[in-house]
Amino acid sequence: MPRAICLLSGGLDSATCLAVARRDGFETYALSFDYGQRHRQELAAAERVAAHLGAHAHRVARIDLRVFGGSALTDDIAVPKHRSAAEMGAGIPVTYVPARNTIFLSFALAWAEVVAAETIFIGVNAVDYSGYPDCRPAFIHAFEQMANLATKAGVEGRTKLSIRTPLLELTKAGIIHLGRSAGVDFALTHSCYDPAPDGRPCGQCDSCLLRAKGFAEAGVADPLLA
């Protein structure tokens, strides 16, 4: 069984990505990050999702991105609420975490080399895209090229690493359909940037609004709100 590293935040995109990797016949190695994010709910969600989708292993790497801050997710900056689609589409939001996907993919690359995985799955999306530069296809392609120059496995020609982005061209509704068909239980996922202390989503941040729009367009009820 080929092995794949799957970046898993606990949100519905990364859960769908992990389910697709499993459906496509990979033994999955799920990787989450305790990076100093504002709340712990997403790590709890990642743990639930990894168990539910039968990840062969699930690791949480601890890296403290609060040493730099610079994001509403890692610093004392308010999470924007009630933004319209036009506002979300205009520029890079304060919830962008500087260089996050570069950092996460670098950790995934290190684990891939250790377990001899040739594939990394990441749930980036360029459609319902919140303006994050490190979700663009050009970035993913460049990272893949770099990865094959950077590792012992790549240089010795033993493995050719590829990065799979099965959600890249999908709308949020498309992701929800794909996730359902691949066996995701969305009740286990967490999307909110600013949940209540008991974990309930705020319903007002960009992530909650995009999730709600996706479920509405998919014609499916969000089990988190049931």
Using the rule CB under 5 A, is 208 a contact of Zn ion? yes
Choose between 30 and 205: whose C-beta lies nearer to Zn ion.
Answer: 205
Crossing angle between the packed helical segments 100-115 and 137-150, to the nearest 10 degrees: 40
Using the rule CB under 5 A, is 72 a contact of Zn ion? no
CB of 71 to Zn ion, least distance (A): 15
CB of 180 to Zn ion, least distance (A): 22
Choose between 11 and 201: whose C-beta lies nearer to Zn ion.
Answer: 201
DSSP-derived letter for residue 172 is: H
- Considering only residues 175 through 194, tell me which ones interact with Zn ion, judged by CB under 5 A: 192
d(CA 6, CA 115): 13
Total length of the chain:
226
The stretch among 15-23, 56-64, 147-155, 208-216 that binds Zn ion (CB under 5 A) is: 208-216
Using the rule CB under 5 A, is 220 a contact of Zn ion? no
Choose between 26 and 193: whose C-beta lies nearer to Zn ion.
Answer: 193
Out of 110, 202, 212, 220, the residue judged to bind Zn ion by CB under 5 A:
202
The stretch among 61-69, 173-181, 200-208, 210-218 that binds Zn ion (CB under 5 A) is: 200-208
Helix (H, G, I), strand (E, B) or coil at 81: strand
Query: CA nearest 130: which of 81, 96, 178, 175?
Result: 96
Report how many residues bind Zn ion under the rule CB under 5 A: 5
Choose between 202 and 220: whose C-beta lies nearer to Zn ion.
Answer: 202
Contacts of 133 (CB under 8 A, 6+ apart): 92, 96, 139
3-state secondary structure 18-59: HHHHHHCCCEEEEEEEECCCCCCHHHHHHHHHHHHCCCCEEE
User: Residues in the site for Zn ion, rule: CB under 5 A?
Assistant: 192, 201-202, 205, 208
